[in-house]
Amino acid sequence: MHLHPEEPEAGSWELLDDVELAVRVRALLPAENHALVLVDGRSGSGKSTLAGRLARLLDGAVVHSDDIAWHHDPIHWEDVLVDGVILPWRRGEAVCFRPPGWVVQGRPGAVEVPPRPVLIVEGVGAGRSGLAARAELVVWVQSDRDEARRRGLQRDVELGRTAKEAEAFWDEWMRAEEPFLAADRPWSRAPLVVNGTPPGGLQADSVLASGPLDA
């Protein structure tokens, strides 16, 4: 797997079905099953797919950091997420939150989270140190650098950008993402690692290894 130089490669990958994955994750959560789970990984790694699967298996709700960061800040959105979503969820409240960018830009709707035993936050930097201190579990989605880029460019073209625009957007985002992850090293706080780009056509969110990863 082609990784960034600062990220150690996981080993001893295992293929898990739904039942096995649910058992593995629940073993890492508190017995009362009221848990904040952070799914982190690089752009194009498969975080959203994994978060959706975990939500189905754990009766959880998913919040995407992209929605919190929208027209606010691509990296520095932690306080907005904590105050607007995590704290009210911890109090057992139904969350209906309009992030600052939504208000300024007039985006309709809200980030909504019904009272659920598990809240899953997915996004680049979700497993950062400040949020990990509040969470019961961090999951790192490891991905091949080239495949993640291919996926990201394909996704942006499908969303309406030209190939040239997609490449420019990807490169601009990497200038924020790469130094942040290199400095914060969220994989070093993740006891569970998922292979987002496994070989041989295997289901991406079913190949797992134990963490944390560190050099």
Residue ranges in the chain whose pLDDT is less than 50: none
Which of 206, 212, 209, 211 has its CA nearest to residue 15?
Answer: 206
What's the pLDDT score for residue 34?
A: 87
What's the pLDDT score for residue 201?
A: 67
Q: How far out from the chain centre does Cα 11 lie?
A: 21
Residue 174 in tokens: 């990497």
What's the pLDDT score for residue 31?
A: 81
SS3 assignment, position 139:
strand
Residue 157, C-beta contacts closer than 8 angstroms, at least 6 positions apart: 163, 166
Residue 156 in tokens: 């942006």
What's the pLDDT score for residue 215?
A: 57
Q: What is the pLDDT of residues 77-125, one digit of tens each?
A: 999 999 999 999 999 999 999 999 999 999 999 999 999 999 999 999 9
Q: What angle do CA 129, 124, 96 make, to 5 degrees?
A: 90
Q: What is the DSSP letter of 66?
A: H
CB atoms within 10 A of CB 14: 13
Amino acid making up residue 146: D
Which of 64, 52, 60 has its CA nearest to residue 35?
Answer: 60
Residue 165 in tokens: 């625009």
DSSP strand pairing (111-113 vs 95-97): antiparallel
Topology adopted by domain 14-210: Rossmann fold (3.40.50)
On the 0-12 / 13-18 / 19+ scale of CB atoms within 10 A, 136 is middle
